Structure 1
Amino acid sequence: MKNTDLVWDLVDAKAKDFCDLSDSVWDTPEVNYEEYRSAAAHVARLEAEGFRVTRGIAGMPTALMGEAGEGGPVIAILGEYDALPGLSQEAGVAEERPLVQGGHGHGCGHNLLGSGSLLAAAAVKDFLAANKMAGRIRYYGCPAEEGGSSKGFMVRAGVFDDVDIAICWHPAAFVGVNNPISLACNELNFHFSGRASHAAATPHLGRSALDAVELMNVGVNYLREHMPLTARVHYAVTETGGHSPNVVQARATVRYLIRARELPDLLELVERVKDVAAGAALMTGTTVRSEIISGDANLVGNTPLEALMHTHIERIGLPPFDDADRATAAKFQQTFTTADIKASFARFGLKPRSGVSLCDVIFPPESGDGTIVGSTDVGTVSWVVPTVQMRGATYAIGTPGHSWQLVAQGKLPAAHKGMTQAAKVMASTAADLFGNPEAIAAAKADHAERLAETPFVNPIPDDIDPPLPANLYGADNGR
Structure 2
Amino acid sequence: MQNTEAIWRLVENKRDDFAALSDRVWDTPELNYDEHRSAAAHREMLQREGFRVRTGLAGIPTAVMGEAGEDGPVIAILGEYDALPGLSQEAGVAEHRPIESGGNGHGCGHNLLGSASMLAAAAVKDWLAAQGIKGRVRYYGCPAEEGGSAKGFMVRGGVFDDVDIAICWHPASFSGVNKAISLACMEVDFSFTGRASHAAGSPQLGRSALDAVELMSVGVNYLREHMADGARIHYALQDAGGIAPNVVQARARVRYLVRAKTLPEMQALLARVVKVSEGAALMTETRVEHRVLSADANLVGNAPLERAMQDNFDRLGPPRFDEADKAFARAIQATLTPEEIAAAYRRAGIAPIPGEALCERIVPLEAPEPKSFGSTDVGTVSWVVPTVQARGTTYALGTPGHSWQLVAQGKTPAAHKGLEHVAKVMAGTAVDALLDPELVARAKADHRARLAETPFVQPIPPEVQPPLGMAHHG
Same fold (TM over 0.5): yes
| Farther off after superposition, 77-86 or 460-469 | 460-469
Matched position secondary structure for 1:129? helix
2:73 is aligned with 1:65: no
Once residues 96 and 43 of structure 1 are traced to their aligned partners in structure 2, the CA distance between those partners, rounded to angstroms, is 33
Once residues 71 and 95 of structure 1 are traced to their aligned partners in structure 2, the CA distance between those partners, rounded to angstroms, is 51
Contact 2:348 2:370 in 1 (8 A): no
Which residue of structure 2 lines up, in the alignment, with residue 173 of structure 1? Answer: 173
2:421 is aligned with 1:421: yes
Once residues 85 and 473 of structure 2 are traced to their aligned partners in structure 1, the CA distance between those partners, rounded to angstroms, is 9
Cα deviation for residue 327 of structure 1 reads 1.8
Cα deviation for residue 449 of structure 1 reads 1.0
Q: After superposition, where does 1:284-303 map in structure 2 within 5 Å?
A: 284-303=284-303
1:393 alignment partner AA: T
Once residues 315 and 101 of structure 1 are traced to their aligned partners in structure 2, the CA distance between those partners, rounded to angstroms, is 45
Cα deviation for residue 458 of structure 1 reads 1.8
2:28 is aligned with 1:39: no
Cα deviation for residue 2 of structure 1 reads 6.1
Q: After superposition, where does 1:179-198 map in structure 2 within 5 Å?
A: 179-198=179-198
Which residue of structure 2 lines up, in the alignment, with residue 332 of structure 1? Answer: 332
Matched position secondary structure for 1:452? helix
2:186 alignment partner AA: N
Map Cα deviations across residues 222-268 of structure 1 (whole Å, 9 max, x no partner). 11111102100011222122233333322111110100011111111
Contact 1:7 1:428 in 2 (8 A): yes
Map Cα deviations across residues 57-112 of structure 1 (whole Å, 9 max, x no partner). 11111100000000011110000111112212211111122222222211111111
Which residue of structure 2 lines up, in the alignment, with residue 392 of structure 1? Answer: 392
Map Cα deviations across residues 409-441 of structure 1 (whole Å, 9 max, x no partner). 111111111110100000010001011111111
Matched position secondary structure for 1:275? helix
Which residue of structure 2 lines up, in the alignment, with residue 162 of structure 1? Answer: 162
Once residues 274 and 250 of structure 2 are traced to their aligned partners in structure 1, the CA distance between those partners, rounded to angstroms, is 20
Cα deviation for residue 154 of structure 1 reads 0.5
Contact 1:194 1:209 in 2 (8 A): yes
Contact 1:309 1:425 in 2 (8 A): yes
Query: How many residues get paired?
Result: 474
Once residues 357 and 104 of structure 1 are traced to their aligned partners in structure 2, the CA distance between those partners, rounded to angstroms, is 26
Cα deviation for residue 474 of structure 1 reads 5.4
Which residue of structure 2 lines up, in the alignment, with residue 463 of structure 1? Answer: 463
Q: After superposition, where does 1:208-227 map in structure 2 within 5 Å?
A: 208-227=208-227
Which residue of structure 2 lines up, in the alignment, with residue 148 of structure 1? Answer: 148
Matched position secondary structure for 2:401? coil
Cα deviation for residue 399 of structure 1 reads 1.0
Contact 1:281 1:288 in 2 (8 A): yes
2:321 is aligned with 1:321: yes
Which residue of structure 1 lines up, in the alignment, with residue 255 of structure 2? Answer: 255
Q: After superposition, where does 1:296-311 map in structure 2 within 5 Å?
A: 296-311=296-311
Once residues 473 and 161 of structure 1 are traced to their aligned partners in structure 2, the CA distance between those partners, rounded to angstroms, is 31
Once residues 220 and 309 of structure 1 are traced to their aligned partners in structure 2, the CA distance between those partners, rounded to angstroms, is 41
Q: Unpaired segments of 5 or more residues in structure 2?
A: none
Which residue of structure 2 lines up, in the alignment, with residue 28 of structure 1? Answer: 28
Cα deviation for residue 30 of structure 1 reads 1.3
Contact 1:178 1:366 in 2 (8 A): no
Cα deviation for residue 200 of structure 1 reads 3.5
1:341 alignment partner AA: I
Q: Unpaired segments of 5 or more residues in structure 1?
A: none
1:352 alignment partner AA: P
Contact 1:182 1:299 in 2 (8 A): yes
Contact 1:179 1:367 in 2 (8 A): no
Once residues 315 and 180 of structure 1 are traced to their aligned partners in structure 2, the CA distance between those partners, rounded to angstroms, is 22
Q: After superposition, where does 1:429-444 map in structure 2 within 5 Å?
A: 429-444=429-444
Cα deviation for residue 324 of structure 1 reads 2.0
Cα deviation for residue 275 of structure 1 reads 1.1
Contact 1:2 1:432 in 2 (8 A): no
Map Cα deviations across residues 284-330 of structure 1 (whole Å, 9 max, x no partner). 22211000011111111111110110000000011121222112211
Contact 1:395 1:409 in 2 (8 A): yes
Which residue of structure 2 lines up, in the alignment, with residue 241 of structure 1? Answer: 241
| Farther off after superposition, 94-103 or 162-171 | 94-103
Which residue of structure 1 lines up, in the alignment, with residue 6 of structure 2? Answer: 6
% identity of equivalent residues: 66
Which residue of structure 2 lines up, in the alignment, with residue 96 of structure 1? Answer: 96
1:447 alignment partner AA: H
Which residue of structure 2 lines up, in the alignment, with residue 404 of structure 1? Answer: 404
Contact 1:10 1:126 in 2 (8 A): yes
Matched position secondary structure for 2:461? coil
Map Cα deviations across residues 22-68 of structure 1 (whole Å, 9 max, x no partner). 11111111111111111111111111111000011111111000000
Map Cα deviations across residues 140-194 of structure 1 (whole Å, 9 max, x no partner). 0001111111111101101001101000011111000001111111010001112
Matched position secondary structure for 1:215? helix
Contact 1:179 1:366 in 2 (8 A): no
Contact 1:330 1:357 in 2 (8 A): yes
Matched position secondary structure for 1:4? helix
Cα deviation for residue 3 of structure 1 reads 2.1
Cα deviation for residue 472 of structure 1 reads 4.1
1:192 alignment partner AA: F
RMSD between aligned alpha carbons? 1.4
Matched position secondary structure for 1:3? helix
Contact 2:230 2:372 in 1 (8 A): no
Once residues 172 and 5 of structure 1 are traced to their aligned partners in structure 2, the CA distance between those partners, rounded to angstroms, is 25
Contact 1:185 1:375 in 2 (8 A): yes
1:89 alignment partner AA: Q
Once residues 315 and 156 of structure 2 are traced to their aligned partners in structure 1, the CA distance between those partners, rounded to angstroms, is 37
Contact 2:195 2:250 in 1 (8 A): yes
Which residue of structure 1 lines up, in the alignment, with residue 275 of structure 2? Answer: 275
Cα deviation for residue 196 of structure 1 reads 2.2
